[in-house]
Structures are given as structure tokens and as C-alpha cells.
Amino acid sequence: MHSFRHPGLVLTDHRFTVPLDHDDPGGEKIEIFAREAVAASKADENLPWLVYLEGGPGFGARRFVGTEAWLGRAVREFRVLLLDQRGTGLSTPANRQTLPLRGGPREQADYLAHFRSDSIVRDCELIRPRLTGGAPWTVLGQSFGGFCAVRYLSAAPEGLEQVLITGGLPSLDAHADDVYRAAYPRIERKVAAHYAHYPQDVERARAITAYLAEHRPDSAGHRLTPEGFQSLGILLGGGTGSHQLHYLLENAFVTGPHGTELSDTFQEAMRTATSFAGHPLYALMHEAIYGQGERPTGWSAERVRAEFPQFDAAASLAGQGPVLFTGESIHPWHFEVDPALRPLRETAELLAARTDWPALYDTARLAANEVPVAAAVYHDDMYVDTGHALRTATSIRGLRTWVTSEFEHDGLRAGGPRVLDRLLALVRGESDR
């Protein structure tokens, strides 16, 4: 183990070997990386453990600098484990460079089928006794990390002291189609709010879309398209996202010797914002996290979008309507324009067609839950449907819900210690609301 210090913290790196397939414990192994964080003044104390499950899927745990955001509050009483879920961060990677080691697309898809919340929870249950001596621990799940936490409650509640969920209560039975059918109207509301705040962006977005439709520029091998531009709407799910989007749009064009063109600054910013090079599992597994049973996800976001023609950029340009941004959705074209995804297109097709996804949630066990649980539900969250979240909240016995419009989906990060403080008070019965 390697340890180092940040102001106020002692950080220790851990590596764990786990089975790729937990039903075949003697088979292939992969590595899971996690970083322990403890207050420097309490480094020698026997503290309870809190494991943090990042959002995604496909993102490693956040790399904090010191006691920023919620971490400072957590280390006042916990020893925190920042877990790089399988395939992310410093855990055994899964990307265009490593997946060919598995074989062809079929072998790659079969390998990735072990990268959902059910496997992540079983990783946690192998890691927990090695750190806690067998004692249960607290789980803090952000977004997809909350999906993992609900799976944890379904599969291994004996490992849990308490559960804290932020923006991550999944529907227990919705197909991906139901998820996106609920999402597009929500995204449209966020876009309308952005344009109401920044009305000048309506014409800017139309001009950028028209330019991309005509020129299709290439930025470091990443083809910039109208659909890719629309996907910048994913920013609108964060507390400062509308402002970030506005600043990105305001310097989109520059005048050169051949007339007006998209600036290098804008093209690089768009490429950076839309590239999956750092988190390819997000694109590969995003719809798979909703798969349960024999019905394939089948590129759900793409199919359901056809039910909402107002998102058709070409139609918007042909008429007078604004170009609508999209949000947290993955489409086949992502695997055509992004060089980090292009070699994985057939693998993605096989995952989309898969018909043997195991069930993720045990409704009977959740209805009999005895683990203290508190969840922050963000009103009109762009990423996780509030209606779906509240229905799930009523299905988990004893869950205490805090519904707030003070934060967007990134409330845990943006709210500093306040969100974690509130959830801890709720789960301990120290707050009535």
C-alpha cells in the first residue's frame, strides 16, 4: 500500500483482486483500485468506513484535492473508501485499447456483461471484510452509484450499516424506453429555461448547427456533427451548466481569410466535452444498466427520440423553431464520430441486442428493508426522473426522502458538506424533514 498526504488528509492506495465473474470464483481475475481517505488527525483511530460509489456508469471515483466538497464532512467521522468501480480509473481498464485482448466483439460484449451494478456490489462485498474486519459499512451513492446502492440493499443488506443516496434512486422495473420517454420532456424543459435566461443563444445554436451540418469539421479525429453539438445539453443537468454552455457558445465563431468559421477554441471545447476517451464504459454500458430480462434495450434513446420530433435539428433549421439540445443519452452515431468508440461499434450493437440481463432489484427484500436509508431527490433532475425516484422511495421500507429544488444533479459536489449533513441527519433520525 502507498500512502501520501494532502492538507488535512492521509490518502492510502489499495488494490484488490476479484473474480471477473463472481459465479466463477476460480476463473479469470481483475483488479479493483480504491483510495482510502482519513483525516490526518484521526489516521490512527478505529473509525467506521464509508464507501463512495461514483456516478456513471464508467467513471472512476472523483480525485479530490484535500478536503473539498463533501469529503471534508465525511472524514470528520468516517474512514472513506473512494472506489474505482470495475473498468474505471486505476482498476483493470476496459476501453478500445484493452478490450481487443478479450477477442472479437462477441467476446468483448460477454466480458462487459459483468460490469453492471450486480457485479460492482459483489466486488464491494469481497472488499468490505478485508477492510472492516467484517463490520458493515456506510454506502454513499451518487447517481449511478445510487443505483448500485439499491442493488446492494436488494442483494447484500447484511453488509450495510446505512445508505445515503444522492440523485440516484432508479426505477425498479422500467425498461430503458420508459426511462427515455420520461427524459426527453424533462430535457426540453431544461433547454427552454436556458434559452429564457440566454435568449441570444437561440440564434447562436442555430448558426452553429447550420455550420456543422454543412462542413462536418474534424477535431483530432473526432467528427463534429449537429447531433454531437446537441449533446452538449448534458451540461444543463448541473447547477452551473447553463452558464457553462452559454460561455462555450459565445465564442463559437471567428472571421478568417475565408470568412466566418468555427473557432479552434470552440471546436476543441466541443470535442473535449463530447469525447468518451476518458470514460468509454459510459457509452458502452449506459443503456445496459436498465436491462432486466429478455427484452433488449435496442438503442432505446435513439428509438424513443423519434417520438419527439422537436429534437430533430434539421427540421428546426428548416423551420423557425430553436435547436433543442439533448442530454444524457447514447446513440449509434456516437460510435461513428468518436475515435475512442469507433472500434467498439459492433460490441455496442451486441450489448444493445442482448436478451439475458439478470434482474437487478429484489422488490420483496426492499419492501422488508431494515437498513437505514436516506435519499436526496432533486426536483426535476435532468438525469434521473423524479417520478421514478419517488415511486422507488415508497418501495424501500423505511427510506427517508429529501426532495429539494435547491440543487441540480450535482448537489453532492456543489453543495459542499450540506447535502451529506442533511442525509446523515435523516438516516439517524436527527431531522424530521
- Which residues carry out catalysis? 143, 356, 409
C-alpha–C-alpha distance, residues 386 and 148, integer Å = 18
C-alpha–C-alpha distance, residues 10 and 125, integer Å = 24
Query: Which residues, 6+ apart, have CB-to-CB distance to 105 below 8 Å?
Result: 344, 346, 347, 349, 350
C-alpha–C-alpha distance, residues 398 and 421, integer Å = 19
Element (DSSP H or E) covering residue 201? helix 200-215
Contact 161, 136 (CB under 8 A): yes
Query: Which residues, 6+ apart, have CB-to-CB distance to 410 below 8 Å?
Result: 237, 238, 239
Query: Which residues, 6+ apart, have CB-to-CB distance to 126 below 8 Å?
Result: 16, 18
Amino acid at the residue 186: R
Contact 315, 204 (CB under 8 A): no
C-alpha–C-alpha distance, residues 101 and 330, integer Å = 25
Query: Which residues, 6+ apart, have CB-to-CB distance to 347 below 8 Å?
Result: 99, 105, 108, 109, 112, 284
